[in-house]
Amino acid sequence: MDFPRTNKKLLSHSEKIKALHERELDLDFDGDGLTEREERKYGLNPLSPDTDGDGLYDGQEIGIHINPHLYSKVPPSVEKGSEKEKHRETYLHSVQTLLKNQELSYQALYNQIAGDDWLGRSLDERVLAAQVHSGSSEDQIKCSLAQSPYVQWQLEEGQWDRDLAIGYIGGLTRQFGAKRTQEEEIAE
């Protein structure tokens, strides 16, 4: 009748192993800011701080709502305090207001849009409309659109040159101006 005692020891040992395993799930083995449990939840490599190899730690990518499985590109930098930085912030603020997400970063937006023509153009049109309705001048709007993640991505990837970017921005502002004029005529 030694079985009950043996079973009790095995159960006790099993519980110890389970408790040890649970503690390990709460550790961050690769130093990326995510616990083993979180790494498993997102299907990430718990032994690599940067699963997709894009230079951003998995924890950073999760924190700014970027998919850590997809290679993320860093948008072109702008000089601190420059006019370009102000226009980029204006564009981002318009998007944050439109999407009702004040936590959205330019980096996250840049990676979400990337080469998605439909998404990039749609967002640019909505930003343009919001800025027109807020009283921004045409020049301010054009400068803001020049810092659009869609425009910046196209330039960075070599899809567009400067003239194509200027043409895209000019076309958007002309197109919106024509639509607005038609709407105003119908309303009168």
Report yes or no on 100 lying in a domain.
yes
Mean pLDDT on 30-56: 86
**Residue-range definition of the domain harbouring residue 8:** 3-63
58 within 8 A of 38, measured Cβ to Cβ? no
**Residue whose token pair is 């567009």:** 160
Give just the sign of the alpha carbon dihedral 129, 131, 133, 139.
negative
Average pLDDT value for residue range 132-151: 93
Question: The pTM is what?
Answer: 0.60
Same structural domain for residues 88 and 180? yes
Q: Does residue 93 sit in the same domain as residue 159?
A: yes
**pLDDT band per the 50, 70, 90 thresholds, residue 1:** very low
In 10 A of CB 117, how many CB atoms?
11
Amino acid at 181: T
Are 38 and 89 within one domain? Answer: no
Residue 26 domain-assigned (yes or no) = yes
Residue 108 has a pLDDT of: 82
On whether both 117 and 160 belong to a single domain, the answer is yes
Other Cβ atoms within 10 Å of 12 Cβ, number: 9
Number of domains, the chain: 2
